[in-house]
Amino acid sequence: MSAADDPAPETPAPFLAELAEEFETPTPPRVSPARAVAAALSVLLVLAMLAWALPWATGATWPLILEALTTMPAWALPAMLVLGAAALVLEAVTVRTAVAGSRLGTVLPAHAAATGLGLALPGGTVLGLGLLGWLLRRAGVAVGAIVTGILAASLVDLVVSSILVPLLGLGAYALSATALPLPGGIWAAVLAVAGSVLALALTGLGLRRSVLAAVLERLAQLGDAIPTAGVLAQRDALVDLLRRRPLSLALPTLAARIMQWTALLLALRAAGVEVPLLLTIALFALGRVLALVPITPGGAGITETVGAAALVGLGVVAADAAAAMLLLAVATLVVPLVGGGIAVAAAMARSSGSAQPSSSRSS
């Protein structure tokens, strides 16, 4: 039985009523003026990083970087577009599997919109998840299934992207005969993995029924009105999903990361760069760790700059190193942003189109 065939609850639990109202509003979640200003400042920071920090870190000039980009083979850009889109689709498969009663045709644009917002806005992940829930609810998916699915997919991404990939990168670095010339970056990866493992351990502890029940009971004693039975029922649904489908949830997300690593390999090849295979894994893992840096959304600008500097440290020509990382950004950054922008625009158009007939009927 597929996730789409799973029976979804027809009515949400009582404690989800407020969330249901938010999902069922006629318009999707809006970007506040403060977030819009923060997004504009973030874009300026990314442009500044690429315009100044990338040449400074690599020792290349922009004319040389542009020359390296224009001399790449014709297949390079299409390959990045295909691999970036494939990673987005595979991530959506995990969400579809996690959200009972959903269909891939609905989940894919909803996930693209959520991912795009998460990359475009500082702190946009929460807004993106709200938009994901809103779009799924508009497609008729039950609120309880949406909440359970989003939590499950988020946990899977934490395990794969923030723990497994960095651990593989650290292992590849340890086994490599050539030292990646960024020991500080390696320690950053160690700290990131340790933080993610700690967060996962605390989450696992919080999901233990006895622990969660004790916390809820304590909060109730402090005067907080928390529907304990509803929260525990939602916890049971989440744990049951994770136990029944660990591989179906994790494998698509893992395959998405493999697509992005393949994009790195092809970007290096397109730039004429030769790097030992184990070090490409370490370099990719370092990029995933840098993507968690909250200075810019998705670590944009920082990932390309540090990755190019690492390649230069390995003896790669500066302009080729910068060009390879910029090409990789097409798959990891440009495709999700453009796909997300199209999905958000389509959602806005549908919401305004459905609101217009309602207003005309009321008049």
* Contact criterion met (CB below 8 Å) for 121 and 42: yes
pLDDT of residue 227: 65
Residue 105 located in a structural domain: yes
Would 26 be classed as within a structural domain? no
Q: Which two tokens stand for residue 274?
A: 């030769």
Q: Determine, yes or no, domain membership for 34.
A: no
Predicted local confidence at residue 354, as pLDDT: 58
Structurally, the chain folds into a number of domains equal to 1
CB 241 within 8 Å of CB 155: no
pTM: 0.83
Q: What is the pLDDT along the chain (363 residues), one digit of tens a residue?
A: 444 455 444 444 444 445 555 666 666 666 667 767 777 777 788 888 888 989 998 999 999 999 999 999 999 999 999 999 999 999 999 999 999 889 999 999 999 988 988 887 776 777 788 888 888 888 888 888 888 898 899 889 988 988 888 888 877 877 775 555 554 555 555 666 676 677 777 777 766 777 777 776 776 666 655 666 667 777 788 888 888 888 999 999 999 999 999 999 999 999 999 888 888 998 898 888 777 766 777 778 888 888 999 899 888 999 999 999 999 999 999 999 999 888 888 877 776 655 555 444 444
Q: Is residue 41 part of a domain?
A: no
Distance (Å, whole) CA 340 – CA 99 = 20
Residue 180 lies in a domain: yes
Of 314, 290, 332, the C-alpha closest to 53 is 290
Residue 27 belongs to a domain? no
CB-based contact 28:348 (threshold 8 Å): yes
Range of the domain at 117: 58-354
pLDDT value for 173? 78
Looking at residue 181, its pLDDT comes to: 52
- DSSP run (H or E) holding 284: helix 277-290
Tell me, what's the pLDDT at 7?
47
Handedness of CA 346, 351, 352, 353 (dihedral sign): positive
Q: Which two tokens stand for residue 123?
A: 């702190």
Q: How far apart (Å, rounded) are the C-alpha atoms in residues 18 and 230?
A: 13
Does residue 91 fall inside a structural domain? Answer: yes
pLDDT of residue 41: 79
Residue 222 maps to a domain: yes
